Amino acid sequence: MTLDRFYPIFDSADWLRRMLPLGVKLVQLRIKDAAPETIRAEIALSRDLCRQHGAVLVVNDHWQAALDLGCDWIHLGQEDLDVADLPAIRKAGLRLGVSTHDDDELERVLAMAPDYVALGPVYPTILKKMKWHQQGLPGVTEWKARVGDTPLVGIGGMSVERAPGVFDAGADIVSVVTDITLNADPEARVRAWLAVTR
């Protein structure tokens, strides 16, 4: 299965309701602080919206809820990997994407044979305080050489203007958060992203 090259991340099903009709085909639902029942309801709604629009939904972190609700993809950060039941995830047939930021993390993740590897931050990001320095485009090229055929996602400080360079450096997919969610016209920004990634 080939994943779309444009991979926005949103924190609610409301965002998916707005953006999926524009042609988004790969999307991550990342909800950080909410009650378990709220999280499950958001995942279920997002799952249904993605099915209606023929899009791939990736659920961040909440792997048990994703598994229970019949989702196909999850994304785990390094901390999530410490507590997730990877054999159960694999047995259920869930596809797995994983975040990496340094050599040790990449080595650990490659041993798990993930379905994609995310590298970040490629550029400085305002989304979260990170202990890692930006990887830069040379980091993208080096990671791609190491992950081989596994799809590589570039994330961190992404913009429509930077996307072509990130693809040229070796990324298969570009993931974006605030360039859309903080934009004065998110729909127009998504259209611009679709134009530059298709």
Q: Structurally, what CATH architecture does the domain formed by 6-197 represent? A: Alpha-Beta Barrel (3.20)
Q: Which of 99, 162, 175, 189 is catalytic?
A: 99
DSSP 56: E
pLDDT tens digit string along 178-191? 999 999 999 999 99
Question: Given 51, 90, 91, 128, which residue is catalytic?
Answer: 128
Q: Is the pLDDT of residue 1 over 80?
A: no
Beta bridge partners of 76: 98
C-alpha distance from residue 46 to each of 1, 22, 103 (Å): 20, 15, 33
| Domain residue extents for the chain | 6-197
- Examine the pLDDT at 14 and tell me if it is beyond 70: yes
* Section 32-45 average pLDDT: 96
pLDDT, position 128: 59
* Of 15-19, 86-90, 130-134, the least confident: 130-134
Quick check: is 128 catalytic? yes
Residue 99 falls in the annotated catalytic set: yes
Indicate if the pLDDT at residue 135 is higher than 90: no
Q: Is 5 a catalytic residue?
A: no
Q: Where do the DSSP E strands lie in the chain?
A: 6-10, 26-29, 56-60, 73-76, 95-100, 116-119, 152-155, 173-176
**Predicted TM-score of the model (pTM):** 0.96
